[in-house]
Structure 1
Amino acid sequence: MGTLASLISALASGEAMAVLRRARMTAILYGLAAILALSGIGFLIGAAYIWLAARYGPLATSLGFGLGFLVLAALIVLIDRLTTGMRARRRARRRKADMTALGVTAALALLPALAKSKGGMGAALAPVIALVAYAVYRENMGSGPRNPDSGETS
């Protein structure tokens, strides 16, 4: 309740509007800095082209720059493809941990109400026993068909 009151008072005092104005000004300044940095990089690339064209000729320099940019683009795509799988696995682990924490929290929140109910602790223990049984089942399941000769899973 105190957080809500402080939020309302911040809105009423105009502090939130000042924060939004500062954030907007910062975004504009960073955007302008990015445009200027990209322009500087463009001029540096142009200067490198002029210098190399005077040394090796315009055709060889154009071919070199073209191949260089294509190699950079291919590297970026390759790195993205390699890291996409890692990011997906990380998101899945985080989602699983969040769902587990949510389930435990919900179970703990319902435990006092179930203990006071007509079924008593039996109503609370049945889902816990089912979860434990499912966890044991998942742990004991093999990843593939069993090989009768070796007794191992493949």
Structure 2
Amino acid sequence: MLASLIAGLASGETKLAIRRARQAAIVYLVAAAGALCGVGFLIGAVYIWASYRYGALEAAIGIGVAFLLLSGLVLVVHSIISRAQARRAKDRRASDLTAVAVASALAALPTLLRRKGGLGVAVAPAIALVAYAIYRENRSPKAKKEDLDRD
């Protein structure tokens, strides 16, 4: 990986990649500016149409309310998605931590078994983990909710 990075720097490939990225960014910015102008004119056209049909004040109020509702909808959707992502991240962290703990225990197991009294040292944490798993499985639903509220 490092060798390919150094080779890319030496050959000028990185400079070309940066130039392509800069050109793409400029093109996307120009396209976004054009799209924003188009949306602005469409909103203006909707206002003109609504003002002919319902009156200027009613059209302005209606379009304002529509944008407020749209903003509220965006915030609600963002909140729901953020909570779901945070929950998935928490579950992923717990899963990763469990995997690391298991891998560490398996890596340390041969060393512990070679020592004098190693079997007791190796089995005691395993028994503690099983006891904790049984405890978590059998505790009341109210205790589970309180634990989640603390996190």
| 2:111 counterpart (107, 110, 113) | 113
Go from structure 1 to structure 2 and tell me whether the alpha carbon gap of 1:11 and 1:108 turns closer, same or farther (over 3 Å shift). farther
What amino acid sits opposite 1:142 in the alignment?
S
Name 2:56's counterpart in structure 1: 58
SS of the aligned residue for 2:141 comes to coil
- 1:2-151 equivalent positions in 2, closer than 5 A: 3-144=1-142
Count of residue pairs the alignment pairs up: 143
Tell me how far 1:61 sits from its aligned partner. 1.1
Q: Which moved more, 1:111-120 or 1:133-142?
A: 111-120
Match of 2:147 in 1: none
Counterpart Cα distance in 1 of 2:13 and 2:126: 49
* Matches of 1:119 and 1:37, distance apart in 2: 73
Which blocks of at least 5 consecutive residues in structure 2 are unaligned? 144-151
In the alignment, structure 1 segments of 5+ residues that lack a partner are 146-154
CA apart distance, 1:119: 4.3
TM-score (norm 2): 0.78
The amino acid that maps onto 2:124 is A
- Cα RMSD over matched residues? 2.3
C-alpha separation in 2, matches of 1:118 and 1:8? 50
Q: Which whole-Å deviations, capped at 9, do the CAs of 1:6-54 have from their partners, x for residues lacking one?
A: 3332333232332233223222222221121111111111112122222
**Counterparts in 2 of 1:113 and 1:85: CA distance versus 1, 3 Å:** same
Q: For residue 151 of structure 1, what is the aligned residue in structure 2?
A: none
Q: What one-letter code is carried by the residue in structure 1 that aligns with 2:59?
A: T
User: CA deviation digits over 1:117-137, x for unaligned, max 9?
Assistant: 444343332222221121112
Q: Distance in 2 between matches of 1:117 and 1:32?
A: 69
Letter of the aligned partner of 2:29 in structure 1? G
